[in-house]
Structures are given as C-alpha cells and as structure tokens.
C-alpha cells in the first residue's frame, strides 16, 4: 500500500492525468483513474466483467485485494478515455497474429471499416489500444509496455515493431450502448457547437466582444475546475468524465452560460436564429444526441 500511495502522490504533485493499473492475475486488474492528480474513478476488471465503484472506496478495495504488479501510466485525457472505453466494450472479434508484419495489415483492415471500432492488441509484455472513430477520420492510439508509454493521435509506428512472437488482436464495435463512447461523441459535438457559435458570434458582435466572452467562460471553467479552455477561435476540451451523463451535465451548463452572455450582446432572437441555422446542418445522429441529452438551452433551440 505505501508504494501505491506514493504513485498517487506523484500524480498529485505533478497534477497529472492517467491511471494506476494493479494486476493481480492475467484476468484480474484494478484501475485507478486520476485526473489532474486526484483519483476520480476506480474499476475492477475480473474475468471479463467490469465493476465500477466510488472513488472513496479505492483504498478499501486495494487493501483487500492482495499483492499486485502496479504500474503508473501518465496519459492525455483522450488516452484515459480510451482505457475507460476498453473496460465497457463486449463481444469482440479475436484472432491470433503470429507474424509481427501482419499487425499493420490487421490495423489497415480495421481502419477501412465503415463502423467505429476499438482495437485491443495484447503481447506478452505490452499492449495497445486504437480507436477508429469513423471511416476516413483520424484514429487515436495508446501503447503501453514495461518501459514505454505512447499516447498520440494517429496510428503510432510503435505498433509495427516486434513486441513478441504472438499478438492477440481483438476488435470491438462501438454503438450507443457503450456509455463512454457516448461521452466521446458528446465531446466531439460539444466542441463543434462551440466553434460554430464562436465563429457566428465573432461575425455578429466583433472581436472585442468575443474577447469579453472568452473572459467570462474562462472564469466559469476555473470556478468549476474544468479543464476546458476557450480562445476567440476555438474550444480546447481536455476534460474527461468517464460518464456520458456527467459529461452532458457540464457541457449543458457551459453552453447555457455561453449562450446567455451572447444573448445579452446580440439579442435572444438573433442568437436563436443563428443557432438553428448552424445546428440544422449537422448530421441526423448528432441532432438525435443533442435531443437525447437536452444539450442546448431552452428558448434558443427547443420550442
């Protein structure tokens, strides 16, 4: 326990995001998810089943679980999201790859699929995750070995190295039944809505008033300890919630605050008309996601 606490303290001192993985056996792992230095979620993966438990119980769970191989893995918010996603997917297609050169062919075939998928690659002493969000969009990958952690947009070249004589590759389909996949979709949609409205507000109100909006929203995120930054041109979302419901709650609050400030400047009618004009051009699945989570403030988009 002192060694594990030291790992947690190290994350805290650096305000790092990532996870601590405790491996008790090949089929039993406990994950501590840390966001900017603090444990905010924990999960036990045992024989293919995932149990999520409150963060205030992690000490008790670790104490009662026995000895484990522990590894601290610093990650980006999106990399952490991929690990959370990997604990929720089910019923993947698994195959054995005996030739390291075939890994690239396998990943190329997955990239060509029309449906979003998550790929898990497992060697004896290393593993990797690759998210293929949708056809023709950039994948995201995480690779972890005893000495290496790679967390980056695109397909990391590290996957094409020989990490062992055998690789077990599993591909999982992603749909609305996977909660963290919905969070990923909400994350993407939130940024798109904000960027569309920033551009529209800049046209209607001018640069000086956009800077005023930036100051208001920066104060809003700081007060709620949200790692979401806003400039005059775009949103940079570095938050992770590991729950679509929690993500939707904070995105809803952010957009309500943003729209309220914009409405004071340009008027609620003009803002509502501009919003409908922009949102109407989004794909039907995005509109369904907006409706399902009531993402936009009433009075501007909803009747």
CA 237 to chain centre: 10
CA distance 277 to 301: 10
Predicted local distance difference test score (pLDDT) of residue 298: 74
Only one residue has tokens 């790992």, namely 7
What's the pLDDT band for 100 if we cut at 50, 70, 90?
confident
pLDDT, tens digit, for every residue of 115-165?
999 999 999 889 999 999 987 789 999 999 988 999 999 998 899 887 888
Domain residue limits, the chain: 1-74, 77-174, 179-292
Record the pTM: 0.91
For residue 214, give both structure tokens.
């930036």
Contact in structure between 20 and 71 (CB atoms under 8 Å):
yes
CA distance 271 to 161: 52
Q: What are phi and psi of 124, to 5 degrees?
A: -65, -40
Compute the radius of gyration of the chain from its Cα atoms.
Answer: 21
Cβ neighbours of residue 219 under 8 Å, at least 6 residues apart?
none
CA distance 217 to 219: 5
Residue 197 burial (CB count, 10 A): 22
Picking from 41, 39, 42, the residue whose alpha carbon sits closest to that of residue 12 is: 39
Average pLDDT value for residue range 5-10: 91
Per DSSP, the three-state class of 198 is helix
Predicted local distance difference test score (pLDDT) of residue 299: 65
Predicted local distance difference test score (pLDDT) of residue 244: 95
Q: Is the pLDDT of residue 300 over 70?
A: no
CA 145 to chain centre: 21
For residue 172, give both structure tokens.
């999982």
pLDDT, tens digit, for every residue of 150-206?
999 999 889 988 788 889 999 999 998 899 999 999 999 999 999 988 988 888 888
Predicted local distance difference test score (pLDDT) of residue 277: 83
Contact in structure between 217 and 258 (CB atoms under 8 Å):
yes
Average pLDDT score over the chain: 90
Average pLDDT value for residue range 236-240: 95
pLDDT, tens digit, for every residue of 47-63?
778 888 877 888 888 87
Picking from 56, 10, 34, 36, the residue whose alpha carbon sits closest to that of residue 226 is: 36
Contact in structure between 189 and 247 (CB atoms under 8 Å):
no
CA distance 194 to 259: 10
In sign, the C-alpha dihedral spanning 256, 260, 261, 263 is positive
């Amino acid at each position: 326990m002192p060694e594990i606490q030291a790992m947690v303290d190290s994350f805290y001192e650096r305000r790092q995001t990532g996870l601590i993985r405790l491996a008790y056996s090949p089929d039993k792992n406990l994950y501590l998810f840390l966001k900017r230095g603090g444990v905010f979620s924990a999960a036990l993966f045992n024989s293919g089943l995932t149990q999520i438990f409150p963060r205030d119980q992690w000490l008790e769970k670790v104490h009662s679980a026995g000895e484990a191989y522990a590894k601290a893995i610093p990650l980006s918010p999106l990399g952490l999201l991929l690990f959370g996603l990997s604990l929720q997917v089910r019923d993947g297609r698994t195959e054995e790859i005996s030739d390291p050169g075939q890994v690239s062919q396998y990943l190329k075939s997955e990239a060509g699929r029309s449906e979003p998928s998550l790929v898990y690659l497992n060697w004896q002493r290393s593993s990797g995750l690759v998210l293929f969000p949708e056809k023709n969009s950039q994948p995201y990958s995480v690779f972890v070995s005893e000495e290496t952690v790679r967390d980056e947009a695109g397909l990391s070249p590290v996957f094409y190295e020989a990490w062992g004589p055998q690789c077990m590759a599993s591909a999982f389909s992603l749909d609305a039944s996977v909660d963290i996949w919905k969070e990923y979709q909400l994350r993407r949609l939130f940024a798109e809505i904000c960027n569309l409205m920033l551009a529209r507000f800049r046209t209607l109100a001018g640069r000086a008033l956009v800077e005023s909006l930036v100051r208001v929203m920066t104060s809003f995120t700081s007060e709620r300890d949200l790692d979401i930054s806003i400039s005059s041109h775009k949103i940079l979302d570095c938050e992770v919630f590991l729950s679509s419901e929690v993500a939707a709650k904070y995105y809803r609050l952010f957009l309500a605050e943003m729209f309220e400030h914009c409405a004071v400047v340009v008027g609620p009618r003009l803002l509502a008309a501009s919003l409908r004009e922009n949102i109407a051009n989004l794909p039907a699945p995005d509109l369904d996601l907006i409706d399902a989570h009531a993402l936009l403030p009433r009075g501007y988009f909803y009747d």
